[in-house]
Structure 1
Amino acid sequence: MDGESVRLLIEAAKKARERAYAPYSRFYVGAAALGEDGVIYAGCNVENSSYGLSCCAERNAIFRGVAAGCRKFEAVAIVGSADDTMPCGACRQVMAEFGVSYVVATRADGAYRVLALEDLLPFAFTLQEETE
């Protein structure tokens, strides 16, 4: 990933974070997914009083892209209020499903790390297509 792509993803994730709905945890997260179509899809976390119905920013960003017709993503950037805001296990599996190669994890001080998804989820579940 080049530096300009990382910068654009982080900026989009920061803007999305401003729209997060997190009245219970007060942990506001924004994410931005770079689709193979070159479009950046942003999402924020959305909580619900029934916690299991909440959805993380990373999945919201990817699902937004999927709804627009994108099926593969190069990278996802995450911006939260904690140092090294990382994707949860469910988000990592969704990223694997849609071919995400890199995760840009930001820190509260603005520093970031670019991590390979395979390092974050080394044995991802994948559908094995039948071959004849």
Structure 2
Amino acid sequence: MTLLDAAREVRERAYAPYSRFKVGAAVRGASGAVYQGCNVENVAYPEGTCAEAGAIALMVASGETELVEVAVIADSPTPVPPCGGCRQKLAEFGRADTPVLLATVQGARLATTIGELLPGRFDISHLSGTE
């Protein structure tokens, strides 16, 4: 199963009763293990969880803190990029050159990287007294 297949599979389990916009994400940890996440909505909209955040949380809960590849899929006319918060989350656990594949269920694809999605990212070097 490819990383995109893993994202496609978990997308079907997304909980999106309000927007009906299901998103699936999969990340590959440095160990090679694949972690899946889907969006989980809440009637109080800001309280939902993005697919990318869910996949990262599962990776960390499983004991890994480095991702080496990302795939995101949604039913959209064009590939859907991660939101700003998820871009920062991806940057926390991946390098700037980490490949990100964005796709639609109809087959459109866009290959990019974490660095292209979040240039000028905020990182530990910005914290006072730490480097």
TM-score by length of 1: 0.89
Counterpart residue type for residue 130 of structure 2: E
User: Structure 2 residue aligned with 1:13, among 7, 29, 36?
Assistant: 7
1:6-43 deviations in whole A, cap 9, x for unaligned? x6111000110010000011000110001001000001
Which aligned segments of 4 or more residues in structure 1 are displaced greater than 2 angstroms?
Answer: 128-131
1:73-99 deviations in whole A, cap 9, x for unaligned? 011100100121110000000000011
Q: Which residue number in structure 2 is paired with residue 99 of structure 1?
A: 94
Percent identity between the two aligned chains: 44
- Distance in 1, matches of 2:73 and 2:104, equals 7
1:27-69 deviations in whole A, cap 9, x for unaligned? 0011000100100000100000111110000110011000001
Question: Is this contact kept in 1: 2:28–2:34, CA < 8 A?
Answer: yes
Two-structure CA RMSD over aligned residues (Å)? 1.4
How big is the shift at 1:110? 1.2
How many residues align? The count is 125
Counterpart residue type for residue 123 of structure 2: T
Q: Which residue number in structure 1 is paired with residue 112 of structure 2?
A: 115
- Distance in 2, matches of 1:48 and 1:130, equals 37
Counterpart residue type for residue 52 of structure 1: P
User: Structure 2 residue aligned with 1:44, among 38, 44, 50?
Assistant: 38
Structure 2 regions of 5+ residues with no counterpart? none
Q: Which residue number in structure 2 is paired with residue 72 of structure 1?
A: 66
Structure 1 regions of 5+ residues with no counterpart? 1-6
Counterpart residue type for residue 130 of structure 1: T
TM-score by length of 2: 0.90
